[in-house]
A = this chain, B = another copy of it.
Amino acid sequence: MKDMKKSAKRIIAVLLFVTAFATGAGAQTVSSPNGNVVVKFNIANGGVPTYEVSYKGKAVVKPSRLGLELAKDKHASKGLDETDLLDGFEIKNVENSAFDETWTPVWGETKTIRNHYNEMLVTLEQRMEKPEYQGNGNDKGLALVAQVRTVKIRFRVYDDGIGFRYEFPQQQELNYFLIKEERTEFAMAGDHKAWWLPGDYDTQEQETQECRLSEIRNRMKEAVNWDNSSVAVFSDTGVQTSLQMKTDDGLYINIHEAACLDYATMHLELVDGQTRQLSTQLKGGSNAYTPNPKEARYKLPEPLTFVSHLTPDATGLKGCMQTPCETPWRTVMVSDDARDMLSSNLILNLNEPCKIEDTSWIHPTKYCGVWWEMIVGKSSWNYTDEFPSIKLDNIDWQTVKPNGRHGANNEKVRRYIDFAAKNGLDEVLVEGWNVGWEDWANMWKRDVFDFVTPYPDFDIKALNDYAHSKGVKLLMHHETSSSTQNYERHIKEAFELMNKYGYDAVKTGYVGDIIPRGDHHYSQSMNNHYLYVIKEAAKHHVMVNSHEATRPTGICRTYPNLVGGESARGTEYEAFGGSRPDHTCILPFTRLQGGPMDYTPGIFVTRLSEWSDNPSWARITLAGSLALYLTMYSPLQMAADLPENYEKFDDAFQFIRDVACDWDESIYLEAEPADYITVARKAKGTDNWFVGGKCDENGHKTTLKLDFLDKGRTYDCTIYADGKDAHYEKNPQSYQITKRKVKKGDTLKLVEAPGGGFAVSLIAR
């Protein structure tokens, strides 16, 4: 029984109304079910809505303002309203309620998920005077007419954090509006340590920075990899969400968003001691903060306050809204235990239940692919080097001269299919199968791919038939080159082709600058595009794994065919100079909050120089790379290295063959951002457990108590550990495999090398 049907029934059962009506001023309060998290809402001077959040009595978010700045538009007279939604508000009504539901995800870290919160819905009225022509003929004149606009703010308070959003009921006085900027503030209570990425409109693939909030400004310049041609940073103190922080008194705080659908992705801009008010627009790299237009009543936020900064469209605007509508949820997760950051389902819970009726075609997937060999330069995506550039409607592929390095050829793909079949992998990704790779990126080329025409050396029918005969599927690849207009024009034929040949999953890509020109990867219109693709895919029973798309916000609950995504620095960067060893100990706290990542782990041969002229190397041990299949949760897991590399280490590869990628239970045993993560997971529908531990460059020792096993049963335990002398740089391929029998209550002492980790399989006898 699936999410959608179940929830409809349960909501009725568990909605406990504790409605309170308030009409005057005074703080309105709502606490989490266990009382640890408390939200207080108030109207400050000038009618400015504010909120604050505490955890076990400690301030998490100090009193912070709420509101939206609206844009002037030439069509304002027709219904687009430009009066800001910042102040002049009164509380009209407050409704409190409680909710407790358990739902079943289509795939996930646990078999069921509990959605348990207390809610406070505050209805605000903004009274304003609008000039209007009144009277007739000679008596006609401008009069100020009183108008009332209604905005609601809905708070949901969980034991591990809060979510709130703005809701705009349909009303004549607020029918359409344009967002110049959302002005949601998050005033931090101290100079916390933060793990952050530079706020950027077009890339999320930078290395995470670790420093105190007050140090962000001085770190910004080095934080940006300016070689990345997509870089579009907007401020010296702009950061991305999910933003993980840690306070000096041991609180873990995470700010992100949930259910960002037809709305621009939010960044956070930090107001610090150096922030100056300037009336100009923010420019890349400047230290100017765009002041709130109501300066007189509404001064610069206190230092160490984050202010929301939405991603603009080509015209600089942040949103086009039509009531009834609402913003995404703004989320603040908080705990004094880092493990709660990882086990929290707050963001999934704030998303709508599944909207796909039949989900039987959605399945966890382990795959390999013709991919890493192109990343490292061993073969090419493109088929020919004959022309300076190509035009798809003007080339005869049968007569062009092959470059001899094309990866996606019949022979190679058969080799990968054989490898997948032999090792129980479900699918084989093939990149570079379709024409157009000769000049595909950053050339403002609209008609870059057609998504249906294979290169002459890729026999799409024969290869799919061959794969199916071996129980394997091919995994489709749609690189759009960010020419979204072109993709939307071809998407129906593209999915029809997939249906015809039996593909059931697609990896999409958004490398380069967006076409339509001037738009950004994380704008409202682009977020709508990604959702459009997910919905069209669902119509064709296609699972989506979206690369370079906007960072996820839990919408895989609503559309569980979104089985993966990139939206962060993935394994490919190991071939582009490398990522720090602690990178994978940060991602679960940040990028993974919104949904699974197609991190493409499993690189066994870390020195590319051994078989390629690429000097890059992966900063991970072989055992550490096995741990990622557990610490980086995803229903879609790649065995990313070359088949020949796996064949060299077949005993270690056994773990990748064995590990599940869907779970009935997950227990985070240890966690500290950027240091280490240890997690035990029970494979879906079995009694088998898998445990993974991953650490940073400092190594880690763990005592693994097998308390989670079933009492009285014996398990065949295989331990894939770093060798004694293992080291992510000096000796990454040192590992040892140990087998023993264990039972509940046993203890394993495990040592993770610098940049290393371990993986354990526990098969119930």
Contacts and interface: CB of A to CB of B under 8 A. Distances in A.
Interface string A145-173: 00000000000000000000000001110
A443 B74 contact: no
Contact of A229 (B75, B489, B518, B532): B75
Interface stretch (A122-130, A311-319, A638-646, A672-680): A311-319
A459 B492 CA distance: 28
B517 A443 contact: no
A176 interface: yes
A131 interface: no
Nearest to A230: B74
A229 B171 contact: no
A320 B444 contact: yes
Interface string A482-522: 00010011001000000000000000000001001111000
Contact of A172 (B388, B485, B516, B528): B388
B516 A445 contact: no
A53 B78 CA distance: 49
A110 interface: no
Interface string A55-81: 000000000000000000111001110
A389 B170 contact: yes
Contact of A445 (B176, B315, B389): B176
Contacts of A517: 313-315, 317, 320, 525
B320 A389 contact: no
A323 B446 CA distance: 14
A611 interface: no
Contacts of A313: 516-518
A292 interface: no
Contact of A175 (B75, B176, B323, B389): B389
B485 A443 contact: no
A532 B393 CA distance: 14
Contacts of A485: 485, 488, 525
Contact of A170 (B75, B388, B516): B388
Interface in A356-390: 387-389
A713 interface: no
B489 A443 contact: no
Given A176-B444, A320-B517, A444-B176, A74 B388 contact: no
A221 interface: no
A265 B488 CA distance: 25
Contact of A75 (B75, B442, B516): B442
Contacts of A317: 517
Contacts of A73: 444
A391 interface: yes
A85 interface: no
Contacts of A525: 446, 485, 516-517
Main secondary structure, interface of A, reads loop
A322 interface: yes
A443 B322 contact: yes
A178 interface: yes
A446 B313 CA distance: 14
Contact of A488 (B171, B445, B488): B488
Contact of A492 (B176, B492, B516): B492
Interface string A452-492: 00000000000000000000000000000000010011001
Nearest to A77: B229
Contact of A314 (B314, B391, B489): B314
Contacts of A518: 313-315, 518
B171 A388 contact: yes
Given A485-B488, A489-B488, A445 B322 contact: yes
A187 B500 CA distance: 59
A303 B322 CA distance: 49
Contact of A389 (B322, B443, B488, B513): B322
A436 to B, nearest CB: 13
A386 to B, nearest CB: 11
Nearest to A513: B75
Interface in A290-331: 313-315, 317, 320, 322-323
Contacts of A175: 388-389, 439
A489 B532 contact: yes
A387 B170 contact: yes
Given A389-B175, A391-B322, A517-B320, A443 B314 contact: no
Nearest to A491: B489
A687 to B, nearest CB: 45
Max chain B Cβ within 10 angstroms of own Cβ: one of A74, A80, A178, A445:
A74
Interface string A519-534: 1000001001000100
Contacts of A528: 446
Contacts of A389: 79, 170, 175-176, 322-323
A355 to B, nearest CB: 12
A445 B320 CA distance: 8
Interface in A166-200: 170-172, 175-176, 178
A564 B744 CA distance: 80
Max chain B Cβ within 10 angstroms of own Cβ: one of A80, A446, A516:
A516
A172 B172 CA distance: 58
A52 to B, nearest CB: 34
Nearest to A170: B388
Nearest to A444: B320
A35 to B, nearest CB: 38
Nearest to A519: B516
A305 to B, nearest CB: 30
Interface in A588-610: none
Contact of A79 (B229, B443, B488): B443
Contacts of A387: 170
Contacts of A388: 79, 170-172, 175, 323
A172 B485 CA distance: 27
Nearest to A391: B322
20 contacts: A75-B229, A75-B444, A78-B229, A78-B443, A79-B388, A79-B389, A79-B439, A79-B443, A171-B388, A176-B445, A317-B517, A320-B517, A322-B391, A322-B445, A446-B525, A488-B489, A489-B532, A492-B492, A516-B519, A516-B525
Given A79-B388, A314-B519, A518-B518, 18 more contacts: A75-B443, A75-B444, A78-B229, A78-B442, A170-B387, A175-B388, A175-B389, A175-B439, A176-B443, A314-B518, A315-B517, A320-B445, A322-B391, A322-B443, A322-B445, A323-B389, A485-B485, A489-B532
